[in-house]
A = this chain, B = another copy of it.
């Protein structure tokens, strides 16, 4: 059963909040961790792990190992894959004709079946109790409809599951919020981030599908594709927003949101 969803950022500032806004965001992230303390497993979708143009990925490797921090912020640790659930999800997506690949590394099982983690996973994981994971990767080169359908099939698998599973969406939003940032100041970043928070807070997530492609592209976001997967999964049960927050302490926008099953 899908017990709830956490939308979580992966920027270093949430680890040591530099201002009150970011502190409020970190508080929402801690609340997500508290809410899902009773879950059996997490499904974690991250945009900073494997990136494939036109296929989504489901990691089957048994051991998930910290490998790559951002700007020197190393967050060591190892997690286990919930392999049974990962295989169920991969098979269901594959049978439904989704563009998906299973991902292993080095060996097919045992201690050498390992997979590297980046800040995209490691930062959300800092707020979550250690549990088995299914790590999945979105793709920017497949259609919006396919991403939503992929999420629906994921939701169906989770609904049939006896385990209590929480879905964690790792996402940062517009990256053009600071003239001195690596992408400069881009008005679309502010526009996109404001819209996303509106859709979250006003329970209008279905409208994600009508955001213009041009806005997504110009806003330099890192969130849209995995949020469409989230939308698909959320269609399979009723969820209630329990908390949300937004902060933009540097050049990119970060959002946290917690939905729990009604």
How many chain A residues have a CB neighbour from B under 8 Å?
25
How far apart are A210's CB and chain B's nearest CB, in angstroms? 27
State the CA gap A70–B50 with chains docked (Å).
23
Interface pair A118/B105, CB less than 8 Å apart: yes
Binary per-residue interface labels of chain A (84-114) against chain B in the complex, 1 for a CB within 8 Å, 0 otherwise:
0000000000000000011111111000101
State the CA gap A108–B105 with chains docked (Å).
20
How many copies of this chain are found per oligomer? 2
User: Is there a chain B Cβ closer than 8 Å to A144's Cβ?
Assistant: no
Binary per-residue interface labels of chain A (145-189) against chain B in the complex, 1 for a CB within 8 Å, 0 otherwise:
000000000000000000000000000000000000000000000
A116 touching B53 in the complex, CB below 8 Å, given contacts A101-B101, A107-B48: no
- Contact partner of A51 (CB less than 8 A), chosen from B49, B55, B68, B104, is B104
- Contact partner of A106 (CB less than 8 A), chosen from B49, B53, B107, B112, is B49
User: Is there a chain B Cβ closer than 8 Å to A120's Cβ?
Assistant: yes
A51 touching B105 in the complex, CB below 8 Å, given contacts A114-B68, A116-B116: yes
- Contact partner of A101 (CB less than 8 A), chosen from B55, B67, B70, B120, is B55
List, sorted by A's number, 27 A–B pairs whose CB atoms are closer than 8 Å: A48-B106, A49-B105, A49-B106, A50-B50, A50-B103, A50-B104, A51-B103, A51-B104, A51-B105, A51-B108, A52-B101, A52-B103, A52-B104, A54-B101, A55-B101, A67-B116, A68-B106, A68-B112, A68-B114, A70-B112, A101-B101, A105-B116, A105-B118, A106-B119, A106-B120, A112-B118, A116-B116
